[in-house]
Structure 1
């Protein structure tokens, strides 16, 4: 999990997407759930994959890059959200993958806490530098994960 200066940088990076960054930080620090609603499409878009594809995709992605960009998971790991560059959601074509971009909002937990809050948790928290998942690499990882599952090598 992100700690210390990394967590503070991640908080600032995420909050910079909010219409009111101070209110966003307040919600994380003092709100009863420790979550904030943040708009997609400014600093990032999110591609939401079903968990049965998302987990093997993340496994492949972690073999391809030293550190993937931010990834969220909902309670029960039914869905996973991969943070990708803004504009990706509007161009994405893929069955079973939901793109969240400009005009949509996502629930985001505090990046420095382990607890599952509001039914959402970080699998890969943001690093505070703005690193995102490369959409082309993510697509390749999804194809490889789907192929392994189709061959019976998945869960």
Structure 2
């Protein structure tokens, strides 16, 4: 991403903060992460990492379309897809969490990873988000693939996270 793109992405993300200036200071001089409000400019669909990484791989299959912003929490083993706000939040599935209005998301700056958080696809600064229909299809396909690849056994436990 060009430095101009970084600046646009920083401004776009920071707009979701209670105090955008403080947000940018945290990214540059503080902990490196900022708490941003979900539900105004975007929601986050958080899924287990195996499902999310496979779905993201499927979304990359069209070379003409870059997926929307996607964040990974390596410690919690979760992938977060940024998508348009959806007040109904009808996302259903094992381990699927829809983070929307009234919730906060810890976010690193778009130009570098911070601790356990890293952008798989950083925001481009234009407001591009994942298309819910396309994301849902990729998650359904990934779920089917994982069902075939995963041997039967005890239910996995979910780590804390989004």
The question of a shared fold, defined as TM-score above 0.5 by the shorter chain, is answered with: yes
TM-score (norm 1): 0.89
Say which structure is richer in helix: 1
8 Å contact from structure 1 (residues 45, 89) kept in 2: no
Moved over 4 A (4+): none
Q: Secondary structure in 1 aligned to 2:129?
A: coil
Pairwise CA distance, 1:3: 3.4
1:43 lines up with 2:46 in the alignment: no
User: Number of paired residues?
Assistant: 149
Q: What is the aligned partner in structure 2 of residue 146 from structure 1?
A: 143
Cα root mean square deviation, aligned: 1.7
TM-score (norm 2): 0.85
1:134 lines up with 2:131 in the alignment: yes
CA distance in structure 1 between the aligned counterparts of 2:143 and 2:116, rounded to whole angstroms: 26
CA distance in structure 1 between the aligned counterparts of 2:108 and 2:51, rounded to whole angstroms: 22
CA distance 1:84–1:118, shift in 2 (3 Å): same
Q: Secondary structure in 2 aligned to 1:17?
A: coil
1:119 lines up with 2:116 in the alignment: yes
CA distance in structure 2 between the aligned counterparts of 1:12 and 1:23, rounded to whole angstroms: 12
Q: What is the aligned partner in structure 2 of residue 68 from structure 1?
A: 67
Q: Summarize deviations over 1:32-73 as a string: whole Å, max 9, x none.
A: x21100010011000000011111010111114620000000
Q: Secondary structure in 1 aligned to 2:41?
A: coil
Q: What is the aligned partner in structure 2 of residue 15 from structure 1?
A: 14
Pairwise CA distance, 1:95: 2.9
- Which runs of no fewer than 5 residues in structure 1 stay unpaired? none
